[in-house]
Amino acid sequence: MCELFAMSSRYPADVRFSLEEFSRHGGLAGHHKDGWGIAWYEGGDVRLVKEPTAASDSACLGFIQDHPFRSTTVVGHIRRATQGRLTLANTQPLTRELGGQVHVFAHNGDLDGAGLRRSFHLGAYHPVGETDSEYAFCALLHRLSRLWREPKQAPPVEMRLALVSEFAAGLRALGPANFLYADGDALFVHGHKRTHADGIRPPGLHLLCRACTAESGAFTAEGLSIEPAGIAQEVVIAASVPLTAGESWRALADGEIVVVRGGRIVQPGESHHE
Amino acid sequence: MCELFAMSSRYPADVRFSLEEFSRHGGLAGHHKDGWGIAWYEGGDVRLVKEPTAASDSACLGFIQDHPFRSTTVVGHIRRATQGRLTLANTQPLTRELGGQVHVFAHNGDLDGAGLRRSFHLGAYHPVGETDSEYAFCALLHRLSRLWREPKQAPPVEMRLALVSEFAAGLRALGPANFLYADGDALFVHGHKRTHADGIRPPGLHLLCRACTAESGAFTAEGLSIEPAGIAQEVVIAASVPLTAGESWRALADGEIVVVRGGRIVQPGESHHE
């Protein structure tokens, strides 16, 4: 299965060490040799770096680790191909513009392609690659385009959550549907099923909330370092599997969606079991 | 003024040395310290690397030069800001999806923003940044969306050229409008006016056509090396100013548009003087 990673923070944070851990999952420690990508918000836009090759061998990922960036929203993906060739277009995260904002999507799971095409329409959004994940992203944007009527004005988060929840429920009927979706204002984290030792079952995503001040110094204590420490930083991290030991990662329930903004959970997560 | 660069080739080509020359124009030899970007097609998608900082100081551009890529279509831009802040969103090239293809745009010139908003509508395409160049790209895509009805099927090049020509004529009425536009099938090169020692006048772009076989070895003779040599390679290069000496760079006429595909000019260039 693919690996997902996301970070939302109150102040721009340096996610260098988590990328290292993430990279190990992508080839050295894990079995995800088919591609990797990282997208992060910067100056109203998104930087996207991705390659259809193993993260562990990547000179490009090494360069990012040597020249760390700061951002308040990061989405990462490591691919084990189940659909589509090993091309750049089939590598995630995926980005598109809607309402004058760059939207980012990363999906983990194997969806029923025919069912996807029956259940979801795309409007003006056409996939560039061949994956079920990109088809799903196009379908999500097509649905959300109803809401994003005024450029640069994010619709109320409750309205966006309602559409994302409806979309996620439709997706879950077609296969494992863990996804991360950022729209320039909020980050939506949707947990579902994933391949475990005893079969395909929840959890598909784990969540970690951290708060830190200069006094606590908690940010550098573990393998996952989110800089800068020394300010009243707040961070939410989502990952397929817990990236650190000794911290209270919480498994997302089947169909749970959490909305995060500026390092804080703004929608407490509702369960939509089927 | 900004610097534009584009390359179209028959076989994937390595443009390392021209990037070096281009980088020198962006800070060392020239006065373009406000940002740089390179977009290249790969596996049906586009890799885009850009930064709102000087190209000559960029560790990232250094990394690209040390790890050269091969592509059949490359578009580059070095920015001297005339409109918009020094942000990633205001840095070119710009990319968007239309008809299941990634489209790339880079513009050099300073357009009348109010006139632009009066003359051009955007439809569903909203700028992420604040530049006249991005507004123009959105307007171009909105016009072209009439033609791109079937995903992955480029409309006849004559129809696309007619729309691009009409768009370019409208743009020229609003200020210097040199631009490069690639749609995943063809590269459109539009020359207009640019700041020279004796004022703002044509040419704004220069064109170089190269053909090479193993025997001629012409590709490595000059400062601008397009690999691989040794095959029947054909290349067209467009740049604001000639990047090499001793080669027959041709200045584009005022309003001339050239359409390039696979390293060959497919539309001979029509003049649209006003």
Quick: pLDDT tens for B218-232: 344 334 455 555 567
CA distance B260 to chain A (A): 22
Range B113-134 average pLDDT: 95
Q: Do residues B77 and B109 touch, judged by C-beta distance below 8 A?
A: no
**For testing the chain A interface, which of B61, B64, B125, B126 should be mutated: the one with the most A CBs within 10 Å?**
B126
- Number of helices and strands (H, E) in chain A? 5, 15
Structure tokens at B82: 């005339």
- The DSSP H or E segment spanning A229 is none
Q: Is the pLDDT of residue B239 over 70?
A: yes
Interface of B with A (CB under 8 A): 42-45, 47-48, 52, 59-60, 63, 67, 87-90, 96-102, 124-129, 145, 151-152
Please report how many Cα atoms fall inside a 13 Å half-sphere around the Cα of residue B88, on the Cβ side: 17
Contacts of A124 in chain B (CB under 8 A): 124, 145
Q: Is the pLDDT of residue B271 over 70?
A: no
Q: Do residues A21 and A78 touch, judged by C-beta distance below 8 A?
A: no
Put simply, the answer to whether B59 touches A67 (Cβ < 8 Å) is yes
Residue in A229, A228, A184 with CA at minimum distance from that of residue A68? A228
Contacts of B104 in chain A (CB under 8 A): none
Share of chain A above pLDDT 90, in %: 60
pLDDT of amino acid A153 = 95
A209 carries an active-site annotation: no
Mean pLDDT over all residues of chain B? 87
pLDDT of amino acid B24 = 73
Range B65-90 average pLDDT: 89
Top-confidence residue, B20 or A156: A156
Contacts of A97 in chain B (CB under 8 A): 96, 125-126, 128
pLDDT of amino acid A269 = 47
Cα→Cα distances A61→A13, A30, B65, Å:
18, 16, 16
pLDDT of amino acid A226 = 52
Share of chain B above pLDDT 90, in %: 60
Put simply, the answer to whether B128 touches A99 (Cβ < 8 Å) is no
Question: In angstroms, rounded to a whole number, what is the distance separating the alpha carbons of residues B103 and B181?
Answer: 7
Tell me the DSSP string of B227-263.
B--SS-EEEEEEESS-SSSSS--EEPPTT-EEEEETT
Going by pLDDT thresholds of 50, 70 and 90, the confidence category of residue B61 is: confident
Q: Is the pLDDT of residue A225 over 60?
A: no
ipTM of the complex as predicted: 0.90
pLDDT of amino acid B210 = 83
Identity of the amino acid at B121:
H
Q: Is the pLDDT of residue A213 over 80?
A: no
Quick: pLDDT tens for A76-110: 999 887 778 999 999 999 999 999 999 999 999 88
Contacts of A89 in chain B (CB under 8 A): 43-45
Put simply, the answer to whether A102 touches B52 (Cβ < 8 Å) is no
Chain A and chain B share a number of CB contacts under 8 A equal to 75
Question: In angstroms, rounded to a whole number, what is the distance separating the alpha carbons of residues A265 and A259?
Answer: 6
Nearest Cβ partner of A151 from B90, B101, B126?
A: B126
Q: Is the pLDDT of residue A272 over 50?
A: no
Range A169-173 average pLDDT: 97
| Helical residues (DSSP H) of B77-227, grouped into ranges | 113-119, 132-144, 157-172
- The DSSP H or E segment spanning B268 is strand B264-270
Q: Is the pLDDT of residue A64 over 90?
A: no
Put simply, the answer to whether B44 touches A88 (Cβ < 8 Å) is yes
Question: In angstroms, rounded to a whole number, what is the distance separating the alpha carbons of residues B247 and B210?
Answer: 9
Ramachandran quadrant class, A196 (left: phi over 0; alpha: psi -120 to 50; beta: rest): beta
Put simply, the answer to whether A43 touches B87 (Cβ < 8 Å) is yes
pLDDT of amino acid B17 = 64
Spatial neighbors of A114 by CB under 8 A, at least 6 apart, are none
Tell me the DSSP string of A12-59.
EEE-HHHHHHHHIIIIISS---S-EEEEEEETTEEEEEEESS-GGG-H
Range B58-62 average pLDDT: 87
- Number of helices and strands (H, E) in chain B? 5, 15
Residue B257 phi, psi (nearest 5): -120, 130
Question: In angstroms, rounded to a whole number, what is the distance separating the alpha carbons of residues B35 and B55?
Answer: 7
Going by pLDDT thresholds of 50, 70 and 90, the confidence category of residue B215 is: very low
pLDDT of amino acid B173 = 97
pLDDT of amino acid B220 = 40
Put simply, the answer to whether B99 touches A126 (Cβ < 8 Å) is yes
Nearest Cβ partner of B43 from A43, A52, A100?
A: A52
Going by pLDDT thresholds of 50, 70 and 90, the confidence category of residue B106 is: very high
Contacts of B45 in chain A (CB under 8 A): 87-89, 128-129
Quick: pLDDT tens for A106-144: 999 889 999 999 999 999 999 999 999 999 999 999 999
Quick: pLDDT tens for B21-37: 777 776 666 667 788 99
Top-confidence residue, A16 or A74: A74
Q: Is the pLDDT of residue B126 over 90?
A: yes
Q: Is the pLDDT of residue A216 over 60?
A: no
Nearest Cβ partner of B102 from A90, A125, A128?
A: A128
Range A167-191 average pLDDT: 97
Give pTM, 2 decimals: 0.92
Put simply, the answer to whether B42 touches A88 (Cβ < 8 Å) is yes
Lowest mean pLDDT among A105-119, A178-192, B58-72: B58-72
Quick: pLDDT tens for A231-267: 678 889 999 988 888 888 999 999 999 999 999 999 8
Range B178-205 average pLDDT: 94
Going by the DSSP 8-state scheme, the letter that residue A133 receives in this structure is H
Put simply, the answer to whether A152 touches B99 (Cβ < 8 Å) is no
pLDDT of amino acid B218 = 39
Range A208-212 average pLDDT: 82
Spatial neighbors of B64 by CB under 8 A, at least 6 apart, are B19, B38, B49
Identity of the amino acid at B31:
H
Mean pLDDT over all residues of chain A? 87
